[in-house]
Structure 1
Amino acid sequence: MFSKVLVANRGEIAVRVMRACEELGIRTVAVYSDADKHSGHVRYADEAYNIGPARAADSYLDHEAVIEAGRKAGADAIHPGYGFLAENATFAAKVGESEMKWIGPSAAAMERLGEKTKARALMQEADVPVVPGTTEPVESADEVKEIADEYGYPVAIKAEGGGGGRGLKVVHSEDEVEDQLATAQREGEAYFDNASVYVEKYLEAPRHIEVQILADEHGNVRHLGERDCSLQRRHQKVIEEAPSPALTEDLRERIGEAARRGVKAADYANAGTVEFLVEDGEFYFMEVNTRIQVEHCVTEQVTGIDIVKWQLRVAAGEELDFAQDDVEIDGHAIEFRINAENAAQNFAPAPGGKLETYDPPGGIGVRMDDALRQGDDLVTDYDSMIAKLIVTAGDRDECITRSERALAEFEVEGFHTIIPFHRLMLTDEKFCAGEHTTKYLDEELDKERIKQAVAEWGPAESESEEDDDEEVTERDFTVEVNGKRFQVSLEERGAPAIPVSGGGRNKGSSQRPPQAKQSEEKEEVVVEGDGERVEAEMQGTILSVNVSEGDEVASGDVVCVLEAMKMENDVVASRGGTVSQVLVGEGESVDMGDVLVVIE
């Protein structure tokens, strides 16, 4: 078994992996960007290394920086978690060529299954049903139109390296093809370093079913049952459960065996997920996620199998010690993603803030996967998910009732979360009956009900605290020696400053060292004229700028596209006029309130 593992990720999944490592007697190494220097995964790890600025491309996606951190730490292996580099075959190969072990499938298997067109072709050869479409990438709008003419609209344009709804665009008519193709290619490049896309028939109202796989390096392949991930908004899952309430026993058996068959044909080892769409009693292969999934927890709860520990054991050469017949599904589990979003505003990401209150639920059948603690600041550079609540019970009805209790106990103050939305769904007839599809949330659920839920169960309007005007002096010193992180923090609030040391796991205490205010100042931007200032409503990265100085724009025109927390957000002009200044460019990071464009 390994003695030290670097976790190439952040947040709750990094802590989840570190906990598994600790139970196996493995020391852990965190990596962090400048934005994450006070984050929970850094506190939890045995040691931590800075790998670059906040921008993911310059830190968490920097192959050489991550590998160099592993070398400095003397790590035996690298676990990628999910997202970032988890499905990057090039990075997996680089790790394999180093002195460290890649905890995941081989780069060759990732190539075969991680890129969607190759996976579709392989599954067809293994006699696994696939959604009608291409098995080769498409490059032009004309190719997309030809496929749509063959299968009929709508069609889906999907990034080859995509997942979680990123790089997926639905085309309903011919006049949408060019814009949606360009957007899918741009998202594929931005998120997965791969602009290649393919096209398939878009199923109108399917269930999203996925099968958890474990395979070792000795040829053994097991499936751990299925999960139902049909409740989604904009193709992003929000609630997942196991087992699915929609499958018959016959269909469940056929899907599980199809997943095993396809994975075995790919010569795959380690954990993975085979995803299917189910409609009218038929199932179709969608994709393979060659990594651990966000929703792996519900499978662990109903099978009793620790998937992350088995990832480590398989990578260390161990053989699976259970047969397929030994896998039993016991009870029901539901996972609620606790995202920092305002569901009443179309799930807009929270702009940031301090976690003033964080009091998660407990009791029998309640599991929390998180990394934040009360007093932490919300880091908005990457992902809106701050925690996962997983509830387990003897059957689905009891699980829903227990979930109602747990969510009612969950207190978060400082910014919006989607807890009110989750509480609404547990009173929703269609969800409670298990009759929802992937379209239910976006196209059927009355949005007024969501607004009412947020009004009833959301955070109260913040009031200024009596000590807001009290002068506070905060100083934060982060010292790096050979790239390794050591931290000293000082805070003075009407009393002498007290130094607090950090730099490793502080067991027995969940209190974060006081965090300094941002000391780095952005280069001053001169805004000329007194016209309308179009400002960023949230922190993020400019994906595209749609106007130039001198352009005429009308009210509602998109002036630029801002990516925040893995979602594209159109920034529009509130009135017409002439663009007098464009103050940002593609790829630039902006903060909430930054002026992007001036319109006279």
Structure 2
Amino acid sequence: MFDKVLVANRGEIAVRVMRACEDLDVGTVAVYSDADKHSGHVRHADEAYNIGPARAADSYLDHEGVIEAAEKAGADAIHPGYGFLAENAEFAEKVENTEGITWVGPASQSMEQAGEKTKARKIMQAADVPIVPGTTDPVTTVEEVHEFGEEHGYPIAIKAEGGGGGRGMKVVRGPEEAAELLETAQREGEAYFDNDSVYLERYLENPRHIEVQILADQHGNVRHLGERDCSLQRRHQKVIEEGPSPALTDDLREQIGEAARRGADEANYYNAGTFEFLVEEDPDREPGELLGADTNFYFLEVNTRIQVEHTVTEELTGIDIVKWQLKVAAGEELDFSQDDVELEGHAVEYRINAENAANEFAPAQGGELETYDPPGGIGVRMDDALRQGDDLVTDYDSMIAKLIVHGGDREECLARSKRALREYDIEGIHTIIPFHLMMLENEEFVGGTHTTKYLDETLDELPTAEYQEQYGPESVGGAGKDEETVTREFTIEVNGKRFQVDLEESGVPQQAAQRPAPSGGGGSSSSGGGGSSPSVSADGEVVTAEMQGTILEVNVAEGDEVASGDVLLVLEAMKMENDVVAEFGGTVTEIAVEEGQSVNQGDPLVVLD
């Protein structure tokens, strides 16, 4: 087993991995950006290293920076968690080629084959796993999209090779949309996954999202740990995950599980992974009815990493998946057979996102956890990295914690979930806890007949605002603590070894805070990705940023005439592209931002006269 593992991630998943390491008596190393210097995963680790500014591309996605931190710490393994570099085969290969450091995950070659969607589809075809009609080679021109639509019909899904969670996926409902959406999918693939390659699939209108957890070792043993139902999604982002699926018969469940095992075998896959499938729902199915063995299901993709929702499977099987990731990476053999895997009871995971569901799930723009009191009791598990008094970090994903509930059956599990969510006391920021409570009284969800389209089609009709008012926080703060902070540099010696140390002091007197911090310190304290805030000088109506994010595209120039509804800019926030539109017509007299620039909520973007 390893001596010390660097966790190349942040937040709750970093803490989750560190806990598995501690169970194995393995030391832990955290990496953190300037924005995360006070975050929970830094507190939890045995040692921690700053790897750059808040912008993920300059810190958590910096291949050389992460590997250099591992070498400095003397770590002999790197675990990537999920997101960031977890599915980056190039980074995995760099780790594999670094002497003395082991990659905790599938081999980089296997990641490339299974993780890139077109290659994975070819592997699944060879393994006799059903796939959705689509391309097995990347698509680069709009003509190819048109040809596919003529052959298979619309709608068509354009998907980024390295994508997941709806990022890098666009739905084309007619040939006139193809050019714009192809470009957008390619841009998102490049921005999020450093890969602008895309492919096409026939878009299924009413599917369920079923995924199978795989564990495989380097000795040829492959096990599936049952399925999870992730059909409750908003804009292709999972919100609630559960297992077993409330919609499948045992026969269909076994078919899908065995298909996943065949696919893993064909790909020579080892370590943890998830094989995702779309199952065609029967729109006339009533609650209590199940989908039988004759139901169509199709391979969707492989996630070559641990999943956010791996906790559901752990609660059902009693198998610590993260601990087995470490054991497999260290060369150990799985010590249980497929027949040993049994699913007991029912489990549900609720993603606790810092968002206001009553305001179109707008992400929180800052704030302090004035109260943080998570639930407990039998069957309740919390995966988080928070404590009361923490400031909310808004530079990354909006998910701040996960609540996992287990019961003897689905009915008990959902009842226990209500109790746990009502116990969960968070003040100072909005979360989607009220939304989860609403879904636990929703007929479609409780009946298990919802599909991946359910929320997008019905959310406007649901009583989201009522639940937000009843169960939301009594107070919501602004951008966190408003006290002055100053950084001072000191030289110290420990056992004769000299160190330069930066100490951050909060609440200092105003005159001290005004003194410039010494140079050569521990990095910027900016959380906006660098650069000064935009400003404008022209007269007119100022269009401002509704949320913190990064300017992906500027669609207008000074002097342009625009009409109400025209897209002025594209703002990326919380991994989603948001169009900034003109509320009225006019002339663009000033543009305050440029592509790639980070902005905060309320910053001026464009002036219209």
TM-score (norm 2): 0.91
Q: Does 1:545 align with 2:554?
A: yes
Deviation (angstroms), 1:378: 1.1
Distance 2:528 2:220 in 1: 54
Query: Paired residue for 1:393?
Result: 407
Distance 1:295 1:480 in 2: 45
Using the TM superposition, name which of 384-393 and 562-571 deviates more: 562-571
Conserved? CA contact 1:475–1:516, under 8 Å: no
Query: Paired residue for 2:46?
Result: 46
Conserved? CA contact 2:407–2:416, under 8 Å: yes
Query: Paired residue for 1:555?
Result: 564
Using the TM superposition, name which of 174-183 and 191-200 deviates more: 174-183
AA partner of residue 437 (structure 1): T
Q: For 1:438, which of 427, 452, 474 is the aligned residue? A: 452
Query: Paired residue for 2:516?
Result: none
Query: Paired residue for 2:368?
Result: 354
Distance 1:76 1:160 in 2: 30
AA partner of residue 595 (structure 2): E
Distance 1:478 1:242 in 2: 52
Conserved? CA contact 1:120–1:130, under 8 Å: yes
Q: For 1:582, which of 559, 570, 591 is the aligned residue? A: 591
Using the TM superposition, name which of 159-168 and 528-537 deviates more: 528-537
Distance 1:554 1:310 in 2: 57
Conserved? CA contact 1:159–1:197, under 8 Å: yes
Distance 1:217 1:395 in 2: 35
Query: Paired residue for 1:263?
Result: 264
3-state secondary structure, aligned to 2:383: strand
Deviation (angstroms), 1:447: 3.6
> Residues 206 and 96 from structure 1, CA distance in 2 versus in 1: closer, same or farther, beyond 3 angstroms?
same
Query: Paired residue for 1:154?
Result: 155
Deviation (angstroms), 1:236: 0.2
> Residues 261 and 580 from structure 1, CA distance in 2 versus in 1: closer, same or farther, beyond 3 angstroms?
same
Q: Does 1:221 align with 2:218?
A: no
Conserved? CA contact 2:534–2:605, under 8 Å: no
Deviation (angstroms), 1:539: 1.3
> Residues 274 and 521 from structure 1, CA distance in 2 versus in 1: closer, same or farther, beyond 3 angstroms?
closer
Distance 1:480 1:214 in 2: 48
AA partner of residue 545 (structure 1): V
Distance 2:18 2:422 in 1: 29
Q: Does 1:66 align with 2:66?
A: yes
Deviation (angstroms), 1:228: 0.2
- Percent sequence identity is 70
Query: Paired residue for 1:294?
Result: 308
Q: Deviations over 1:62-102 (max 9, x none)?
A: 11111111111111000000001100000000000002100
Report 1:422-501 matches (<5 A).
422-462=436-476, 472-476=483-487, 488-492=503-507
Conserved? CA contact 2:486–2:508, under 8 Å: no
Deviation (angstroms), 1:480: 11
Distance 2:30 2:216 in 1: 27
AA partner of residue 366 (structure 1): V
Q: For 1:324, which of 310, 314, 338 is the aligned residue? A: 338
Conserved? CA contact 2:366–2:393, under 8 Å: yes
Report 1:297-312 matches (<5 A).
297-312=311-326
Deviation (angstroms), 1:524: 5.9
Conserved? CA contact 2:3–2:76, under 8 Å: yes
Query: Paired residue for 1:502?
Result: none
Deviation (angstroms), 1:322: 0.2
TM-score (norm 1): 0.92
Report 1:115-154 matches (<5 A).
115-154=116-155
Deviation (angstroms), 1:393: 0.5
Distance 1:478 1:34 in 2: 17
> Residues 477 and 150 from structure 1, CA distance in 2 versus in 1: closer, same or farther, beyond 3 angstroms?
farther
Query: Paired residue for 1:504?
Result: none
Deviation (angstroms), 1:574: 2.3
Q: Deviations over 1:139-171 (max 9, x none)?
A: 111111111111111110000000111001111
Distance 1:182 1:71 in 2: 39
Q: For 2:580, which of 561, 567, 571 is the aligned residue? A: 571
3-state secondary structure, aligned to 1:19: helix
Conserved? CA contact 1:145–1:177, under 8 Å: yes
3-state secondary structure, aligned to 1:549: coil
3-state secondary structure, aligned to 2:333: coil
> Residues 82 and 521 from structure 1, CA distance in 2 versus in 1: closer, same or farther, beyond 3 angstroms?
closer
Distance 1:480 1:314 in 2: 43
Deviation (angstroms), 1:488: 3.8
Distance 2:212 2:325 in 1: 16
3-state secondary structure, aligned to 1:377: coil
3-state secondary structure, aligned to 1:423: helix
Conserved? CA contact 1:552–1:576, under 8 Å: yes
Number of aligned residues: 577
Report 1:164-313 matches (<5 A).
164-280=165-281, 281-313=295-327
Deviation (angstroms), 1:461: 4.9
Deviation (angstroms), 1:521: 8.8
Conserved? CA contact 1:474–1:516, under 8 Å: no
Conserved? CA contact 1:47–1:485, under 8 Å: no
Conserved? CA contact 2:428–2:477, under 8 Å: no
3-state secondary structure, aligned to 2:376: coil
Deviation (angstroms), 1:136: 0.7
Conserved? CA contact 1:476–1:516, under 8 Å: no
> Residues 250 and 588 from structure 1, CA distance in 2 versus in 1: closer, same or farther, beyond 3 angstroms?
same
Conserved? CA contact 2:55–2:528, under 8 Å: no
Gaps of 5+ in 1: 498-514
RMSD (CA atoms): 2.4
Deviation (angstroms), 1:519: 12
Conserved? CA contact 1:489–1:516, under 8 Å: no
Conserved? CA contact 1:474–1:517, under 8 Å: no
Conserved? CA contact 1:130–1:286, under 8 Å: yes
Q: Deviations over 1:384-407 (max 9, x none)?
A: 000000000000000000000000
Conserved? CA contact 1:9–1:84, under 8 Å: yes
> Residues 272 and 493 from structure 1, CA distance in 2 versus in 1: closer, same or farther, beyond 3 angstroms?
same
Distance 1:444 1:194 in 2: 34
3-state secondary structure, aligned to 1:406: helix
> Residues 438 and 525 from structure 1, CA distance in 2 versus in 1: closer, same or farther, beyond 3 angstroms?
closer
Distance 2:220 2:417 in 1: 39
Query: Paired residue for 1:57?
Result: 57
Query: Paired residue for 2:284?
Result: none
AA partner of residue 16 (structure 2): R
Query: Paired residue for 2:390?
Result: 376
AA partner of residue 268 (structure 1): Y
3-state secondary structure, aligned to 2:435: helix
AA partner of residue 379 (structure 2): G
AA partner of residue 353 (structure 1): G
Query: Paired residue for 1:593?
Result: 602
Conserved? CA contact 2:529–2:598, under 8 Å: no
